[in-house]
A and B are shown apart, each in its own frame.
Chain A
Amino acid sequence: MEPNKAISPEIARRKAIKKAKTVSKVAGLQVFFIVLCFLTLLPILYALGVSFGESNSLLSSSLSLFPETWTVDNYVKLFTDYDILTWFGNTILLAVSTVVLVLTISIPAAYAFSRFRFRFKGAAIRFLIILNAFPSVLSLYSIYTLIRELRLSNSIYGLLLVYVGTMAIFGLYNLKGYFDTIPYEIEEAARMDGCSTFQVITRILLPLARPALAVTGVMVLIYVWNEYIFATTFVSNPDFYTLASGLYGLQAQESTGSWPVFFAASLLVSAPILAVFMLAQRHMVSGLSSGGVKE
């Protein structure tokens, strides 16, 4: 049903041209993004193909991303030849504990830095940001010394402490930034009703800050899941290997190297964290970009 039948053929033609232009522009954009996504995922697709292929698939000169003969041997090997289930268990335990502990210590600290005025507040925040710039790989030996002196070396607690400490700055900074965006008036109203500070945080602030909590949690989770330098250096007991350190050991090396198995393991390890990431994605933008907007 055309609303205006009296439209002149000239105008209709122009409209059609404009529409066609927009359509072709959008179509071009559509193609661009499809190609871009494909290129972005190329290394992963390639690894996927190799992981399902036979050991010689790397050498085939064909450009096909699919193996000539499909096999799940490389995946089966992970479960028969390696203790990948233990690694999974340790990683989940460590990751969840780290997330919980980081949030537990960061929430009150972020609240203090967001709501209280006190001396050295600005300086403390700047100090923390600068500390974050120090590459921990250069203080590896000193971190190890700390762990050893605390009698935590070669245990999962040592790793837990290091992970919590490393992510504590991010937790504090990101949550503080989000708390800053929540108007103080909401809190005041609650205080009028006789809420204590503890109640204000748990009943008012935290529900409002859910996106920031989710994002902080996911970032910590990703960090712990993927961290391998501490995990390989501080823990030598294979019962405590994490996915990252186990996978690191799988790397091609003299006498045991097998790329298809390594690729299979890489994809298997990445799958759960990808799933968590996708679930949290809709929160990501609001929970991160507003973090630390106001300083």
Chain B
Amino acid sequence: MKKAALRKIEREARPWLFSSLSLLTIFLVVVFPIGHTVYLSFTNMGIYNYYDYTLIGIENYVDAFSLGSASFLRSLGITLLWTAVNMVLQLVIAYVLAVLLNSPHLKGRKVYKALLMIPWAMPGYVSILLWKNGMFNGQFGYLNKILSLFGAKADFLSNDVLAFVSCTIVNLWLALPFMIMIIDGALQSVNKELFESASLDGCNAFEKHLFVSIPSIVPIIAPAVLITLFTTFKQFDIINLMTISPVGTGAHIETVIVYAYQQAFITGNYGYSGAVATIIFVLVVLSTVFFDPSFRKKGAKHGAK
């Protein structure tokens, strides 16, 4: 009896023992700072109380929802738009390119794949600055050099819509390689026979994609898509470097992350920005639970019990 209990304890403890180092590190570097940020959000930490801050309750949250609500809500809307537009474009373009890369008779596909992957390995902020100053710069950007052939000129980053489009282009440039690779890999594991039997059944090319290949790759690419979704949502560098830092360009397309970051660094108000960060985090958790099927399954199971 005693032995069985011991074994049970051992069995329970073993997985935690195995993962202890990993979980401990994650706790230190990820969980603790998030907890600490949440804690700060209930304090008055700012430049007047930088080292001797005290708890002040939910004041920062009230501020976030009332005083800054207009810009905060606007940044929320932009975040949604940004995430949606980028995810849809990424998936569609990556799928089309991956299918084309897999078309028979195509020569040199390995070379194309290798070249198309290059943006992935470039340091992100370097790429962003290359785009900003090499391509979009209103004075000597390459795009303006091309436009000037037609006697035109564009200020890509000063107008909200153009700036949004420009940032989206940069994001696609940075993120598409990963997505192409994932979808390309998934396509190769799709059962070729299934595809052929579909053409025997009289499906046209479009239907074949819609009803055969897409459904069969969805489960394979789902985790990668989820990761990309978070990355897109979290994207900070592009909008910050393209339109704000070091000198603003006149466009206002701040996402919530950029907004919260600015709040912290301009006003030095860490309590307030902690509150904004916490609100963002809660939103992320809620939307994850809402969108990720594995959470709902779990919930359903619990409900059934």
Residues of A whose CB lies within 8 Å of any CB of B are 22, 26, 29-30, 32-33, 36-37, 40-44, 46-47, 50, 58-59, 61-63, 104-106, 108-109, 111-113, 116, 118-119, 121-122, 126, 128-139, 141-143, 145-146, 161-162, 164-166, 168-169, 171-173, 177, 222, 225-226, 228, 244, 247-248, 251-253, 259, 262-263, 266, 269-270, 273-274, 276-278, 281, 284-286, 288-293, 295
Contacts and interface: CB of A to CB of B under 8 A. Distances in A.
A273 B261 CA distance: 29
Contact of B15 (A118, A165, A277, A291): A118
Which 8 A-B pairs rank lowest in CB-CB distance, beginning with the nearest? A165-B29, A109-B19, A285-B185, A112-B18, A109-B22, A142-B36, A142-B33, A226-B123
Given A40-B119, A137-B257, A288-B224, A166 B236 contact: no
Nearest to B100: A29
B181 A146 contact: no
B107 interface: yes
A30 B103 CA distance: 11
Contacts of B284: 130, 133-134
Query: Main SS of the interface on chain B?
Result: helix
B169 to A, nearest CB: 10
Instruction: Report the contact-size class of chain B (Cβ under 8 Å from the partner).
Output: 35 or more
Contacts of A128: 26
A266 B186 CA distance: 33
B145 to A, nearest CB: 6
B5 interface: no
A79 to B, nearest CB: 19
Nearest to B22: A109
Given A40-B115, A129-B288, A134-B30, A139 B181 contact: no
A146 B15 contact: no
Contacts of B189: 289
5 contacts: A108-B18, A116-B14, A146-B28, A286-B185, A288-B185
Interface in B237-279: 246, 257, 260-261, 264, 270, 273, 276-277
Interface string B1-30: 000000000011011101101110110111
B290 interface: no
A85 B25 CA distance: 31
Contacts of B264: 138, 141
A270 B117 CA distance: 13
Nearest to B241: A251
A23 to B, nearest CB: 8
B304 interface: no
Contacts of A251: 129, 246
Contacts of B97: 36
Nearest to A38: B115
Contact of B135 (A43, A247, A276, A284): A43
Given A41-B118, A136-B33, A169-B30, A61 B145 contact: yes
